[in-house]
Chains A and B, each alone.
Chain A
Amino acid sequence: MSLDILKERGTPLERQEFTWKEIAGEPYSKLDDDAFTRVRQILMHGVEQEACRLKHFAARFNPDLRLPLARVRRVEHLQATMVNWLMPGDQSPLETTIGYEQVAIEVTAHVAAVEPDPYVAQVYRFGLLEDFDHLYRYAALMDRLCGKDANNILQSYTDVMPGRPTSVEHRAPEDDLRRHYEKATAAPLTKIHAALITGSEWQTRDYYLTVGPSFADPVARQLYAEIAAIEEQHVTQYEALSDPRETWLEKWLVQEATEVYAYWSCYSQEQNPRIKRIWERFLDYELGHLHLVGELMQEVERRDPAELLPREFPDPLSFTSHRKFVRETLAEEVGLRARGFDIVPPDLESPASLAYRERLNAGGSPSELVAAGYRWKPGTELTDRRVREAEFVSLNQEAAQ
């Protein structure tokens, strides 16, 4: 199935309408729907959030674009809401968090595997191993705090085991910047990937900052604070991949193309017919946005948007388990670190990052603490008799040490 984005005109903006009943429609089932339905829902909310964010920043710098930005942004906001409201009320913030990490792993793994620029692909693999570790930490928290199995959410698609330890992911800001692609020579897919993953990581950062303090448990509060800090680093890393010399309209066009590509990918693989119709409808909305921005580009910059867009998209994002790719990456690259723009062997790590990390972890590491000695087991670690029947020993003396 291919999509000719220059030919397909989509739904015109003036016909992109909503009712509250549609926006707050029936959510997916946490129990019955495929885990990748949740993955798509979380991803697309992140993409829509990024769409709104970019347009807000663009409006601050482009007085002449404010009206079209506001018009399209209003629709994007309602799309974001409708997509996020697919999340069911019986899904706890920690269960949703497991879903967020599954998105970060499976979508980044796909992007890393097909990214045409080798340097950019390495950056995705680097980030992937960090999000992979976050899943392990949150799964340990879910098991040990709530007595629940993260695999009820993951549905066996994504491994739960240590990646690059979260405690060593803390880096000095200068080691989170990356070299950007060249706007004139980069493949359209490289630009789309950068917009996609930046948006996804940003919503993860925001989500952890929002739900972290809703936990009463101090270990959960520390862990969310710690992982939110890494997500902030990831946003820094991924947004650095975009060429800062792109015009606002170029960035807007790339963003709309990203949304078209992502909704098309969702539509092509969704199993839930009701949710598939939403992806189809929003694919048409995004095609409408894309052509509107294309017309603005012709008007304002006197350029043909077709120069910047792929005539046809390559294969859609693959919403499947990337276990093999992730394990191979883990085996080969878990020890890597970052120094300046480069991904380097551990012995070349920058002194600035080492010093920063040492200060931050001086009072202990929440991610190490929560998963101390933890191995995921189907049905939680309490299925292990040794854990279940562990002898009671008072904490008083130990805590005093």
Chain B
Amino acid sequence: MNKNDRPTDIGINRTGIALSPVDGPLMTEGATARPPSSAGSARDAAILRFRYAVESGEIGHMPPPLSLRGVTQAAVELIKGHKGNVLLDKLGERLAFERTGVRLFDGLILKFEASGSWAGGPTLEDLVSFRADEARHFEWMVEAMTALGADATAMTPSADLTAVESLGVLQVISDPRTGLAQALHAQQIAELADVAGWELLAALAESLGHAELAAQCRLGLAQEHLHAASVARWLRAHVEAAAHGELARAS
């Protein structure tokens, strides 16, 4: 059986309380009979979290600027001060996200080869082509940061956070027990975030007078729109085929 068809088969999922007709009611009865050990609500912990939030420092900061030798005067003007750091942080974020994006597609291509696709699902060429887009976007960001005199190997604060945000996506795609459809569902999160990320970067570059960079971001945005729409279409075809019992034939 194809792995893409397996998860919605009836199995022996034991997580729900209804599967324990004797123990389940005992759990509920016990928890109801014994009062909490202290009064209050979730709000008590929220107050502690609030205090930490007020007192805590930041996750990290931008690296100091490199020597500006070899960087054009126009670029120097454009990255001076806060606005420069905001742009470099966001460039670092896209760089990191696209670089991880290449690895996510490596995982999706592997899934494709291991478990196949379905009617209306991705072809190998689609996935290979999208991987190439991510690799090119990564390269653009390295060039853009280098041109602005930044260290493209540094992890900026936004780059760090975007990697934390994507942890679950990688976890699903790299799990050998998931099929291509499940992995693409995880990838959808990445693609939607990618669309929003390029949109934001294009607008920021434009507002800071980086016309060329903004144009490049718009091109990236168009390609990510295509990725996001494609993934949504593949997933829709998958659930429809699954719901109509056509998946085994389709895949």
Interface residues of A (CB under 8 A from B): 26, 30-35, 88-90, 133, 136, 144, 151-153, 155-157, 159-162, 165, 217-219, 222, 321, 323, 327, 364, 368-379, 381, 387, 390, 393, 395-396, 398-399
Contacts and interface: CB of A to CB of B under 8 A. Distances in A.
B45 A372 contact: yes
Contacts of A399: 47, 50-51, 54
B48 A368 contact: no
B30 A159 contact: yes
B38 A159 contact: no
Interface of B is mostly: helix
Nearest to A377: B31
Contact of A370 (B13, B26, B45, B54): B45
B129 interface: no
Contacts of A160: 27, 31
A38 to B, nearest CB: 11
Contact of B24 (A26, A34, A90, A156): A156
Nearest to B178: A90
A32 to B, nearest CB: 5
Nearest to A136: B37
**Which of the listed residues B16, B24, B52 has the most CB atoms from chain A within 10 Å of its own CB?**
B16
A372 B171 contact: no
B23 A375 contact: no
B11 to A, nearest CB: 6
Given A144-B45, A374-B36, A398-B47, A32 B27 contact: no
A151 B27 contact: yes
A371 B15 contact: no
**Which of the listed residues A26, A372, A387 has the most CB atoms from chain B within 10 Å of its own CB?**
A372
B72 interface: no
A378 B47 CA distance: 26
B37 A162 contact: yes
Interface residues of B, number: 42
A395 B31 CA distance: 29
Contact of A373 (B36, B47, B49, B50): B36
Contacts of B30: 159, 161, 323, 327
A308 B156 CA distance: 62
A387 B28 CA distance: 17
B42 interface: yes
List of 9 A-B pairs having minimum Cβ-Cβ separation, nearest first:
A372-B40, A156-B20, A156-B23, A372-B44, A162-B37, A218-B52, A152-B15, A161-B34, A376-B31
B14 A34 contact: yes
A33 B171 contact: no
A222 B47 CA distance: 14
A369 B45 contact: yes
